[in-house]
């Protein structure tokens, strides 16, 4: 019987983050959700997931954007091929990328359902984008490469097949289509879904509670209360352009998810919107968790307990 924990954006390419993973306690009866962005290097990714698999009864994983970067050590010709290669590696070490049922401490069951995803941009998928105008420039003024967005340099995509209508799907729709068989009413217990990307625009902006949580996190870490707001920390471009897709929210609600875990934004959240609880519990880079911006990491001393406690 298990508790369910969650974390994302471990970024173990940073040695300090790998040391964090290695220092986590063993929870051999519990389940861990890892919502993407562990490493762009497959060897480092599998090493990290193997360490976590040695600490938890089950580990569930979905790749993020960093996993799909094509670097010099990759033999995959493009990011989609690398995605399927990662799924095969996960199966080989016992890390789950498919839906599964978990028996919780109180004797109840819960389904954990991973959802593939990508972000919808205002240029390639205006219907499904989370883009909110604002920031230093409009999306029409600057390409993602000009913004310095790494995916534009390191992700390599094959030519997408046209649909019967003659149009090509956006990447957000292509990834959403991979979830088709998972969007069923056959789940016979409550459902927890998870993705890497953000499912709703409201989740991008910090609430008063989020700012309070950062102050609490810094207090636990022995740091003074911040003299800045969350939105002033780090990102200098309009993140909403690459945040996620509202397709995700439609999909998770179609299977009546009660709780959705996500990552990507390196800003942590725990709030309920229209009867669904949304949790982002990112580790982030060493500066972010060192400053308490990814609140909850010190509070929970690692992954966050999200379900199954008695």
274 φ/ψ sector (left φ>0, alpha ψ -120 to 50, else beta): left
Contacts of residue 87, defined as CB under 8 A and 6 or more positions apart, other chains included, come to 97
Q: What are phi and psi of 261, to 5 degrees?
A: -100, 135
Question: Does residue 141 surpass a pLDDT of 90?
Answer: no
Q: What is the pLDDT of residues 14-36, one digit of tens each?
A: 999 999 999 999 999 999 999 99
Question: Does residue 140 surpass a pLDDT of 80?
Answer: no
pLDDT of residue 73: 85
Secondary structure percentages of the chain, helix, strand, coil, to 5:
35, 20, 45
Q: What is the pLDDT of residues 67-121, one digit of tens each?
A: 999 998 888 999 999 999 999 999 999 999 999 999 998 889 999 999 999 999 9
Please report which residue ranges of 155-239 form alpha helices under DSSP H. Answer: 171-177, 208-220
Q: What are phi and psi of 35, to 5 degrees?
A: -95, 50
């Amino acid at each position: 019987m298990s508790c369910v924990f969650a974390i994302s954006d471990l970024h173990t390419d940073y040695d300090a983050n790998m040391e964090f993973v290695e220092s986590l306690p063993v929870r051999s009866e519990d389940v861990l959700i890892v919502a993407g962005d562990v490493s762009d290097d497959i060897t480092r990714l599998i090493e990290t997931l193997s360490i976590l698999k040695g600490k938890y009864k089950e580990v569930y994983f979905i790749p993020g954007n960093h996993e799909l970067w094509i670097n010099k050590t990759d033999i995959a010709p493009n990011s989609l091929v690398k995605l399927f290669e990662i799924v095969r590696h996960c199966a080989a070490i016992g890390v789950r990328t498919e839906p599964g049922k978990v028996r919780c401490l109180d004797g109840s069951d819960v389904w954990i359902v991973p959802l593939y995803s990508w972000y919808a941009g205002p240029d390639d998928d205006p219907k499904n984008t989370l883009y909110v105008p604002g920031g230093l420039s409009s999306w029409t003024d600057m390409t993602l490469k000009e913004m310095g967005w790494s995916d534009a340099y390191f992700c390599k995509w094959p030519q997408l097949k046209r649909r019967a209508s003659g149009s090509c799907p956006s990447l957000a729709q292509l990834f959403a289509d991979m979830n088709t068989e998972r969007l069923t009413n056959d789940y016979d217990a409550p459902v927890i879904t998870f993705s890497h990307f953000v499912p709703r625009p409201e989740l991008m902006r910090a609430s008063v509670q989020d700012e309070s949580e950062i102050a609490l996190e810094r207090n636990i870490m022995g740091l003074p209360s911040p003299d800045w707001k969350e939105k002033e920390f780090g990102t200098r471009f309009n993140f909403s352009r690459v945040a996620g897709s509202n397709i995700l929210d439609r999909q998770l609600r179609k299977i009546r998810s009660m709780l959705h875990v996500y990552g990507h934004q390196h800003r942590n959240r725990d709030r309920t919107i229209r009867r669904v609880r949304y949790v982002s519990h990112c580790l982030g880079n060493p500066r972010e968790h060192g400053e308490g911006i990814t609140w909850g990491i010190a509070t929970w001393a690692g992954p966050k307990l999200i379900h199954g406690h008695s």
